[in-house]
Amino acid sequence: MGWLGLDDTDSLKEGCTTYSFHLLLESLPSSVKVMSPRLVRLWPFAHHRTRGNAAVGVELQTEDEDELLNYLHRFWKEHLLPAKGRISPSKHDARTQYPADPGMVWFSTEQPDEKFYTMAVQSEVQLEQVPSADHSWGGQGRIGATAAIAWRQNPKTWEAIAWREPIRHGQNERTVCQHTLRLIDSMPSTFLSRDPRKGTGLVAPRGPCPVLFGIRARDATSALDAGSQLLAAELTESAVGMRVFVTNQATDDHLSQPKQATVTHVEILNRGNCVLSTENGTWLAFAESGSVKKLAQWLQPGDVIEGFGLSPEPGVLHLEKLRLLSAIPTQKRPMCDECSVRMKSMGKGQGCRCPKCKQRCGDAWISVPRIPPYASWVQPPVDARRHLARPLEWAD
């Protein structure tokens, strides 16, 4: 028994780590038994992150480890090492693009400590921090490869991934049956298959990679059934294969405990991006975050809030979930007892007067509760969430 991990075989223009892994598993020696492959999304702000920011791994069982290692050596040299150095700068992504630096690891007796997975999904990890494997190949990709097999799958979800015919690699357009996708979206265990606001699919990538679709579900059987249905649909283009991966998607593993803060200033920028200044750092709600942005824009100094998010730099929190704990009430002048019209100030220290009947009173204020737009936690719409974000609807 042993554990194999792989990462960083793709660039923005070509390749896909899941497809490379599928080809590797397809041609393993017959003496090797393949357990459930795994797909693990990692720290979203990693400088060397790949296009999908996902690494893969699997438990392999064999009585002939030498035969397996010889196969892995050959596959590495012939199919994985040539990916080293690929780079495809993007006009739509401001971050620096790094050349592909594939990495593969083999742990022959036991998994790496899960603490390494937690570190890799919640923070930036350097290559020198990677636990030593029994056998390893390549460079930067060893970080994700090791994290993938350090994960203990609690909690977990599943994804059925299908890959296009090689002749279709490099093309952006994909054809999947929309009628079947609507049926799949109605299944109780599938999630994030379609955007309920736009009525569009969320299962097919938009770029040139080999992936045809990925169907996500809360159990393996539903993922397999849904993926098989979509693959067999007459209006879905042909594929070279499909596998069901156990994943850390929709687990919130990237988040630590929620943070609490008092708002000191609210600034609304272009496009609706909202900056909240607090005694606990700067909290950002981006325009795409929907209800999170709307709640952030409604806030006023003195309001107490609680939020989940990631900190790409010290003192800055990118909000993924937000809720109001308490709101400072609005201070208003009292209503006139006779006219039910709000009284107005006559000047500093001169009290108030009804603008209709002219009745007077002292310099009085009353507190009026502010009603927030949302009563509890809010989250971004489905097309703006991270792969790792757990839906609020999943109460269990």
CATH of the domain at 271: 2.40.50.1010
**What are the tokens at 84?**
């080293």
Residue range 201-245, pLDDT digits in tens: 999 998 888 999 999 999 999 999 999 999 999 999 999 999 999
- Owning domain of residue 39: 2-247
Give the residue from 212, 247, 282 where a domain finishes: 247
CA distance 323 to 305: 6
pLDDT tens digit sequence for 35-57: 999 999 999 998 876 666 899 99
Residue where a domain stops, chosen among 184, 216, 247: 247
Q: 187 and 303 share a domain?
A: no
316 and 217 within one domain = no
Same domain, 234 and 273: no
The candidate with the shortest Cα–Cα distance to 37, out of 16, 17, 59, 68, is: 59
Domain for residue 396, yes or no?
no
Q: Which of 318, 339, 293, 323 is nearest to 386 (CA)?
A: 318
Identity of the residue numbered 148: A
In a domain, 363, yes or no: no
In a domain, 352, yes or no: no
389 in any annotated domain: no
My answer on whether 73 and 9 are in the same domain is yes
Q: How many residues does the chain have?
A: 396
Give domain status of residue 338, yes or no: no
Cβ–Cβ < 8 Å for 9, 99: no
Structure tokens at 29: 């020696």
* Residues 201 and 268 both lie in one domain: no
178 and 307: one domain?
no
The β-bridge partners of 276 are 266, 283
Same domain as 239, residue 94: yes
Q: What is the pLDDT of residues 349-392, one digit of tens each?
A: 889 999 988 888 988 888 889 999 999 999 999 999 999 999 99
How many domains does the structure of the chain reveal? 2
- Is 223 within 8 Å of 244 (Cβ atoms)? yes
pLDDT of 252 over the 90 cut: yes
Query: Which are the contacts of 396, defined by CB distance < 8 A and separation ≥ 6?
Result: none
**Structural tokens at position 365:** 């204020």
In a domain, 390, yes or no: no
359 part of a folded domain: no
Q: Are residues 292 and 271 in the same domain?
A: yes
Cα-flanking dihedrals φ and ψ of residue 265, to 5°? -160, 145
| 123 and 178 part of one domain | yes
User: Do residues 200 and 297 both lie within one domain?
Assistant: no
Residues 217 and 280 reside in one and the same domain = no
